[in-house]
Amino acid sequence: MNASTDKIKEEFASRINEAMELNGYPVRGRARILSREFDISDKGAGKWLKGEAMPETSKLPLLASFLGVSTEWLLNGSESAAKENSSIRISPVKFRDGEKKKSNVRIPIYKDIRASCGDGIENFLEDVSEYLDIDPYILKVMGIQTKSENLRIIYSDEYSMWPTVAPDSPLFIDVSDKDPNAIKNGNVYVFTHNHELRMKRIFVSSVGGKTVKLASDNPDKIRYPDEFITNDQLNEINFVGRLELALVKP
């Protein structure tokens, strides 16, 4: 294998990753998404993404269609990957509309609703900004388990949940999971508290009396300290829902 071949594979991998990023696929799950879509192993898909191998020629048009780009661009970068008339921009990530199908589901998007990852900022619910039409199979391979009718898309704000959640990133929220007495321990929840929309990882402990920790994922605990409340105070919080997926900001 010569240097020229290695470069072709590296550039091909770069374009696959660029297209998947534009489509909003999280970095960590990309190999699994490709392996399921094209009936190959996770390891094989990983080689595509790392520039260690290329797909069979017969798979190239299918891969291009799946990513919403042309085969020519995928092979040699001869034209822009973006197709503005076939996508919706969700700051700053793009979700691409695929082929219009009756099986697609519709998820409401709230562009002006931001869950603060820190002390919180006051927010007011507004009307739906637009909708994401998406194949439910794509939701499944992205790792979303809840029913599509329970999903809402809002945005993150601030750095408290970094690196789990980046600022200005789209968040898939399961609004059916908001019972304070049925918290999934260690999961991230969005809630309103003292007129603020907030987002924290919640731990409920019964050691030494039932206490609840509202934790930030940011390791800087001086700037983003964890909070502790009682179980009674937990029941005073108005939960919006549980974070199902936070897309990676480009």
Retrieve residue 47's tokens: 């080689």
pLDDT at 177 over 90: yes
Q: Give the structural domain span for 20.
A: 3-82
> What confidence tier does 248 reach under pLDDT thresholds 50, 70, 90?
low
Model pLDDT, residue 21: 83
Are 46 and 96 members of one domain?
no
Are 232 and 141 members of one domain?
yes
Model pLDDT, residue 90: 45
> Model pTM?
0.60
CA atoms of 77 and 140, how far apart (whole Å): 30
Q: Say what the alpha-carbon torsion angle 25, 144, 170, 194 is, to the nearest 10 degrees.
A: -160
Are 35 and 132 members of one domain?
no
Retrieve residue 149's tokens: 């009718």
What are the helix and strand counts (H, E) for the chain? 7, 11
CATH code of residue 17: 1.10.260.40
Are 217 and 119 members of one domain?
yes
> What confidence tier does 1 reach under pLDDT thresholds 50, 70, 90?
very low
Q: Which residue has the tokens 């936070």?
A: 246
Nearest to 214 by CA among 187, 195, 235, 194: 187
Are 110 and 21 members of one domain?
no
Model pLDDT, residue 95: 57
Domain end residue (candidates: 58, 82, 106) = 82
pLDDT at 235 over 90: no
Q: What is the mean pLDDT of residues 183-205?
A: 86
Are 101 and 73 members of one domain?
no
pLDDT above 90 coverage of the chain, percent: 12
Are 239 and 136 members of one domain?
yes
Nearest to 216 by CA among 87, 134, 115, 138: 115
Check residues 207 and 199 and name the one with the higher pLDDT.
199
pLDDT at 81 over 60: no
Nearest to 197 by CA among 131, 126, 130, 118: 118
Residue 96's beta-bridge partner residues?
87
Model pLDDT, residue 49: 92
The amino acid occupying position 226 is D
Q: What is the mean pLDDT of residues 191-208?
A: 80
Distance of CA 42 to the CA centre of its chain: 20
Are 57 and 169 members of one domain?
no
The amino acid occupying position 123 is N
pLDDT at 84 over 60: no
Are 193 and 111 members of one domain?
yes
CATH code of residue 139: 2.10.109.10
Number of structural domains in the chain: 2
Are 131 and 210 members of one domain?
yes
Model pLDDT, residue 38: 81
DSSP SS3 for 53? coil
Give the least confident one: 52-56, 126-130, 183-187: 126-130
Model pLDDT, residue 220: 86
The whole-chain average pLDDT of the chain stands at 78
Check residues 178 and 36 and name the one with the higher pLDDT.
178
Domain end residue (candidates: 38, 64, 82) = 82
Model pLDDT, residue 70: 75
Strands of 66-150 (E only): list them.
Answer: 87-90, 93-96, 105-116, 130-134
Model pLDDT, residue 91: 42
Distance of CA 119 to the CA centre of its chain: 22
pLDDT tens for residues 209-222? Answer: 568 899 988 888 88
Check residues 185 and 117 and name the one with the higher pLDDT.
185
pLDDT at 44 over 50: yes
Retrieve residue 250's tokens: 């480009």
Model pLDDT, residue 54: 85
pLDDT at 77 over 80: no
Are 127 and 235 members of one domain?
yes
DSSP SS3 for 22? helix
Are 184 and 209 members of one domain?
yes
Domain end residue (candidates: 37, 61, 82) = 82
Q: Which residue has the tokens 């550039």?
A: 11
Q: What is the mean pLDDT of residues 174-178?
A: 92
Q: Which residue has the tokens 């190999």?
A: 31
